[in-house]
Amino acid sequence: MTTTTPTPSTDRPRTKAQIAAAVAEDIPAGSYVNLGIGQPTLVADHIRADAGVILHTENGMLNMGRAAAGDEVDPDLINAGKVPVTEPAGASYFHHADSFAMMRGGHLDICVLGAFQVAANGDLANWHTGAPDAIPAVGGAMDLAIGAKRLFVMMTLLTKQGTPKLVPACTYPLTGLACVDRIYTDLATFAVSPDGVEVLSVHGTTFADLRALLDVPLVDAR
């Protein structure tokens, strides 16, 4: 499925911008893509303007433009994060049922989401901590998780407490089952496969260290 050369491994952990750039590199020209709210929106900055990548926003727009500035701001023209955006040539609008039909029907090539946890089998947890006082708020996360042809996750590999987010099985409430294809992190890029989790690149770590760190079966696919 990969249409680009794998990202080379590097000696240092990747910054958020570098992770976003790595995701952008793996998006084939002409793809229809939904970038989730938060960190995934950074990917837009790294997609080459001539790649013909077309962005979908689930609140009803295809070929969404960049963030609006100054006089461009129009309260009727926002993205899923409720940020004002612009209308490039070729943009189109549709209502919410049609927008999610587009997603759920498998028409988007790639969706990029953040995550709390990803399991070795591709299960995704990214909507709810499960804390007893947390108000559950799913938004479009579950639709996005199951809708696109391929789902890329962007996250740090470890929590602030140093616990891996790539896990044998998610302990947080699930967003979708076996839906993640790729995981882009500061320390490595992974591909979920039937044979285990493939390591596509490492950054500021080694395959051996990752194997020691993570409680999931890893395959060296560099």
Partner 1 sequence: MTTICTSTQEALSGIADGATVLVGGFGMAGMPVHLLDALIDAGPRDLTIVSNNAGNGDTGLAALLSKGRVRKVVCSFPRQSDSWVFDDLYHRGLVELEVVPQGTLAERIRAAGAGIGAFYCPTGAGTILAEGKETRELGGRTHVLEYPLAGDIALIGAHIADRMGNLVYRKTARNFGPVMATAATTTIVQVERIVATGELDPETIITPSIFVDRVVAVGDHQ
**Helix boundaries (H) for the chain:** 16-25, 96-104, 141-147, 207-213
| DSSP state string for 175-193 | SBSS---EEE-SSEEEEEE
What is the SS3 string spanning 129-172?
CCCCCCCCCCCCHHHHHHHCCEEEEECCCECCCCCECEECCCCC
Shortest reach from residue 204's CB to partner 1, in Å: 33
How many angstroms separate the CA atoms of 136 and 130, rounded?
Answer: 8
Say which residue the tokens 């070795």 belong to. 120
Shortest reach from residue 205's CB to partner 1, in Å: 32
- Residue number with CB closer to partner 1 (30 or 217): 30
Q: Interface with partner 1 by CB under 8 A: which residues?
A: 29-30, 32, 52, 54, 56-63, 74-79, 82, 87, 89-97, 99-108, 128, 133-143, 146-147, 173-177
Shortest reach from residue 115's CB to partner 1, in Å: 14
The secondary structure element, H or E, covering residue 205 is none
- Residue number with CB closer to partner 1 (29 or 208): 29
* Annotated active-site residue in 58, 72, 87, 198: 58
Lookup: tokens for 90? 């070729």
Lookup: tokens for 34? 């939904």
Shortest reach from residue 8's CB to partner 1, in Å: 28
Strand order in the sheet with 218-220: 92-93, 61-62, 54-57, 32-35, 110-114, 150-154, 182-184, 188-193, 196-202, 218-220
Residue 58 is a catalytic residue: yes
- Residue number with CB closer to partner 1 (174 or 216): 174
- Residue number with CB closer to partner 1 (8 or 132): 132
Shortest reach from residue 132's CB to partner 1, in Å: 11
Q: Which residues are catalytic?
A: 58
